[in-house]
Amino acid sequence: MENQLVIEKRPVTNKHNKEIVTVQNIYKSFGDKKVLQGVSFHLDKGENLVVLGKSGTGKSVLIKCLVGLLYPDRGSVEVLGENVLELDPVGLDALRLKIGFNFQNSALYDSMTVGENLEFPLKRNFRDMTEKELDKAVNEALESVGLAHTRDLMPSELSGGMRKRIGIARTLILKPEIMLYDEPTSGLDPVTAKEINELIVEVKEKYHTAAIVITHDISCAKTTGDRIMALAEGEVLKEGTFEEVSKTNHPALKAFFEY
């Protein structure tokens, strides 16, 4: 009975349309392994929230709970005014169209050109789009990440940083309200990582999105985060600005800021 889903119903809290994600007291275990232990947080409209923590602290599990890819054992999850735990498959699909998930490995289809990779989510979700509309959307998305010249290239012809940018472009093409970045600078050299961090900030400013950035990279957290939530052993240790979170004596956090 430990992993039985318990839905906690409560009134919607974002009365002034400020909070667009509200998570309260969620727990998640896999067998005997406790991954999330009473995590609560919110995301405001137009804000970049960084979830900072080392590998295995439950960061990726947390964002999967936001989009219904995983369900917490108990607690409540509200996204854009919807109770995620009560949505049926049709409702989940509709919600996910408003959320852009940028995968750690960019998740590009190697058999498709860059342009075809970007067209794919449009053709899948908006079957009535004309070729002219598709062409315009792809060009705009590529221009937004500074890679308009790559449309006819194959993913294998791109550098790691370029693949990250194309992954972001493919996410942006659906005009999401919320962006989810999973370890956006993983595997990148410091110069390319800096460029990706700056792009994440540019995306927020240009598209007026909110974002949750999952990372263990201090430079990424400092550059991209309006607010930092430090996670360790499935619990929130500290929350605030980068400067506030960096002033900590907790051993699990000090290691990040002393590196």
Q: What is the pLDDT of residue 54?
A: 84
Q: What is the pLDDT of residue 17?
A: 55
Q: What is the pLDDT of residue 1?
A: 39
Q: Which residue has the tokens 């919320």?
A: 178
Q: What is the pLDDT of residue 130?
A: 93
- How do strand 210-215 and strand 48-52 relate by DSSP bridges? parallel
* Most distant CA atoms of the chain, gap in Å: 57
Exposure string over 91-122, b if 16+ CB within 10 A, otherwise e: eeeebbeebbbbbbebebeeeebbbbbbbeeb
The ranges of the chain with pLDDT < 70 are: 1-17, 106, 259
The span from the CA of 96 to the CA of 107, in Å, is 17
The span from the CA of 184 to the CA of 54, in Å, is 14
Q: Which residue has the tokens 């598209």?
A: 207
Q: What is the pLDDT of residue 120?
A: 93
Q: What is the pLDDT of residue 14?
A: 42
Chain Cα centroid distance, residue 203: 13
Q: What is the pLDDT of residue 3?
A: 44
* C-alpha Rg value of the chain to the nearest Å: 19
Q: Count other Cβ atoms within 10 Å, centred on residue 161.
A: 19
3-class DSSP state for residue 116? Answer: helix
Give the start-to-end residue ranges of the domains of the chain. 108-175
- The answer to whether the CB of 47 falls within 8 A of the CB of 225 is no
Taking only the tens place, the pLDDT of each residue in 137-191 is: 999 999 999 999 999 999 999 998 999 999 999 999 999 999 999 999 988 999 9
Which among 64, 74, 66 is positioned nearest to 37, based on CA atoms? 74
